[in-house]
Amino acid sequence: MARSAGVLMSITSLPSPYGIGTIGKEAREFADFLKKSGQTIWQILPVGPTSYGDSPYQSFSTYAGNPYLIDLDTLCEEGLVTKEQLDSFDWGCSDSEVDYEKIYNSRFRVLEIAFENFKKRDQRAFRSFVRKNSKWLKNYALYMAVKKSFDMVSWTEWPEDIKMREETALRRYERKLRNNINFWKFLQFKFYEQWESFRAYVNGLGIKIMGDMPIYVAMDSADTWANPELFQLYDDGDPIAVAGCPPDYFSATGQLWGNPLYDWDYLKETDYEWWFERIKAASKLYDITRIDHFRAFASYYSIPWPAENAINGEWIEGPRIEFFRMMEEAVGKFEIVAEDLGTLTPDVTELMEQTGYPGMKVLEFAFDSGEENDYLPHNYTENCVVYTGTHDNDTVMGWLETAKKQDIDYARSYCKMGADEPFNWGLIRTAYESKANMAIVPMQDILGLGKEGRMNTPSTLGGNWTWRVSKDVLTDALADKLKTLSVRTGRLEE
């Protein structure tokens, strides 16, 4: 991993006249800004289709792309929709926040118009895409069509025959919902067509895309419905146990995520085929894959279901290094970053050493009343990625508003901040000057935003994932400032 610098910026946070960022013109312009800024990494959040709560970490599919990210102006240029049609819908009244309810109500109506017009076009490229991706696309499209027919309720609440995927029910719904099934396939065709163009443009600037892979899939997903044998489920489809985190300093009752846990014994019997296919699929989207909650490969927290909180869970051994050795034999090596935040037990530390994957260091965690900890830069090795903060933390300036005075004083002293150096830039400089090979800074910290720029507050529902950047703040002066810092700290060769 070469010494480099990058920016954490969700695609949904980009400017757009249609209420949410997409992989169109504005994404390319942001990549141009990164190029001018001396950045060679663009880290994004997961790009799968989101469900209730709008979290990119709870997706309807581990393979599918989010229809929200399809660029509507590109569809307009292709003659699938008109500008007048796009302008006739309500996309929300704020340029600084995503209104997901309005996006949901308007976007799918536009995409349905595009689909109806597309049906009159040459279908050869579409049919080829469907054939090449049939292994996951058939299940996903049927799942979404059936789900739509039942007002989007979870598959666990569907009629018993289709819930349990009885063969006669599958064939009946395939016939009944054929047009809607093709609509969901069309959306994936357009997403991947646009993504290929977007990624080629970004890579052409010498910038790598780092994407997130949530370790778990959602209970309400095509993955769980179509592959129940992969998970710890009862015969009726209900979970035996679910994922989460135990009580800690931040939460007295822990975090109850609710994702189904893997049946690692079964996966091992099948040589982890499903998982390896998933990792290969991620490599088609990203240049670098960041595996979220990596520690679960060493040991995972299992919470018996049903549960009101995460108090009564237990740690169970995961597949550990055998998984990654078999992965390299089966599919080769990929560039991977391991999200190893939190309390690291010896088994996690050992797995990190065995894989050699770079872990994460977060500066917001470093200045805890002067206590020595692994997040202080003098404890880093080169083989890590340093962040000022992540999408789950407050912004640096938001942290400044609530942190203890002694922690702030310690941070200023440790980072050797001058009296006139803005706090956010003091932390960015410290990250860049550290020995970590990769330094990633959320766009909100570069802009010096406070709590209004926070992307997510864990264990809360509503008000998350909505932040959007204003186009006029991505100035040449800001790009020059970042580039100068990148060159001075050896993260960019002139």
- 3-state SS record for 417-429: CCCCCCHHHHHHH
Q: In what order do the strands lie in the sheet with 4-8?
A: 336-338, 288-292, 208-214, 41-43, 4-8, 438-442, 384-387, 359-362
Q: Which pLDDT belongs to residue 460?
A: 83
- Provide the pLDDT for residue 473: 97
Residues ≥6 apart with Cβ < 8 Å to 493: 487
Give residue limits of the domains in the chain.
Answer: 4-488
Q: What is the pLDDT of residue 468?
A: 98
| Per-residue burial over 47-59, b = 16 or more CB atoms within 10 Å of its CB, e = otherwise | bbbbbeebbbbbb
Size (the chain), residues: 494
115 and 186 Cβ atoms separated by less than 8 Å? yes
Q: Which residues in the chain come in under a pLDDT of 70?
A: 250, 369-371, 494
Active site (catalytic) residues: 292, 339, 392
Residue 369 near residue 406 (C-beta atoms within 8 A)? yes
Q: pLDDT value at position 212? A: 95
Share of the chain above pLDDT 90, in %: 93
Q: Tens digit of pLDDT for each residue in 47-96?
A: 999 988 899 999 999 999 999 999 999 999 999 999 999 999 999 989 99
Q: In whole angstroms, give the CA distance from residue 394 to residue 415.
A: 19
pLDDT for position 344: 83
Tell me: the pLDDT tens digits for 389-406? 999 999 999 999 999 999
| Structure confidence at residue 493 (pLDDT) | 75
What span, in angstroms and rounded, lies between the C-alpha atoms of 185 and 342?
39
pLDDT of residue 127: 98
4-488: CATH topology:
TIM Barrel (3.20.20)
- What pLDDT sits at residue 494? 64
Residues 382, 377: Cα–Cα separation, whole Å: 10
Q: What is the pLDDT of residue 177?
A: 98
